[in-house]
Chains A and B, each alone.
Chain A
Amino acid sequence: MDRQPDQQIANMHGTAALPRRNGELVFHDDWERRVFALAVTLCEQGHFRWDEFRKELIASIAARDNSLENTDLSNSGYYVHWLAALEKTLANIGMIPLD
């Protein structure tokens, strides 16, 4: 396969950085893989720019950090924010209806 991973996705920094263990991506559940694949594929197809998605991802993570009332959310895991950010990004461009 001659396709290469997009380095702006593979090497995101800060809170948005992909969880890795000794360099390898870490997924806990299969739906996390699906969300990852959906977001990256739709971006590759040109439906949105990666920084548009990343902005929503960072915002979702930051909102979690700022929520004081629900301590359970602190352990919701990284890809919950991918799902929220993808839904938001797709709603922004009108690809899915806003809830």
Chain B
Amino acid sequence: MTGDGHHHNAPPNPFLENRRNAAETRVLEERTRKLEELLVSKKLVATDALDRLVDLYENDIGPTNGAAVVARAWIDPDYRQRLLEDATAAIRELGFGGMQGEHMVVVENSPEIHNVVVCTLCSCYPWPLLGLPPDWYKDPAYRSRVAIEPRRVLKEFGLELAESTEVRVWDSSAEIRYLVLPERPEGTERYSEAGLAALVSRDAMIGVALVEPPHK
């Protein structure tokens, strides 16, 4: 792909590699305009409604399948083991795919170790599991600072870790995407798998938050 070998996703589709030439674009614009005008004149569509619709799809945060993966790992020790050994396969077991050849690696939090994920070069992100990345994930400040001063950045997220906790920062790339397996909070022993999944936030799976106990 690009010279540095770093790209978000191998395009699954006939993307345009190059811009269309201006004449081609004009023809397509004209075809589209004619079609839209015809439909508007028949009062079948309204122009402002079309704008709102595109906005809806462009800002769709998508699935948060990662929470189901975390919940399964909490209730099923064998699954947890498979997830930590080969996350790509274990995640596929639950029917979640859509990655284009990237490997998933799941890193587990414990009282001794806290994991946090970043993509220092751009914003590589396991979107089939977590939906669209939040704006701060793509922010150059987060990307550069979390690797250098993770404790301070986490504190800004409201997450204060014990001095004795080791912080590990994982740098995602085109080839490897990381997901944090958070600690199961206390007081959830009787929770169902679906009930547990509902507690798991996107931020906890990036590692900038903990999964909070249900009663605080």
Contacts and interface: CB of A to CB of B under 8 A. Distances in A.
23 contacts: A3-B56, A9-B57, A10-B60, A15-B13, A20-B12, A22-B133, A23-B127, A23-B128, A23-B133, A24-B58, A29-B29, A34-B50, A35-B32, A38-B32, A38-B50, A45-B44, A61-B14, A74-B14, A75-B17, A76-B20, A83-B31, A86-B35, A95-B39
Contacts of B13: 15, 17-19, 78
B9 interface: yes
A93 to B, nearest CB: 12
Given A61-B14, A78-B15, A31 B29 contact: yes
Interface of B: 8-9, 11-20, 25, 28-29, 31-33, 35-36, 38-39, 42, 44-45, 49-54, 56-58, 60, 62, 123-125, 127-128, 131-133
B16 A77 contact: yes
Contact of A22 (B36, B38, B52, B125): B125
Name the interface size band of chain A.
35 or more
Contacts of B16: 28, 75, 77
Contacts of A76: 14, 20
Given A26-B15, A37-B50, 15 more contacts: A9-B57, A10-B60, A23-B127, A25-B58, A28-B20, A29-B25, A30-B29, A31-B25, A34-B50, A37-B51, A40-B57, A83-B35, A87-B31, A95-B39, A95-B42
Interface of A: 1, 3-5, 9-10, 15, 17-26, 28-31, 33-38, 40-42, 45, 47, 61, 64, 74-78, 80, 83, 86-87, 90, 95-96
Which among A22, A30, A76 has the highest number of chain B CB atoms within 10 Å?
A: A22
A60 to B, nearest CB: 11
A77 B60 contact: no
B9 A21 contact: yes
A19 B49 contact: no
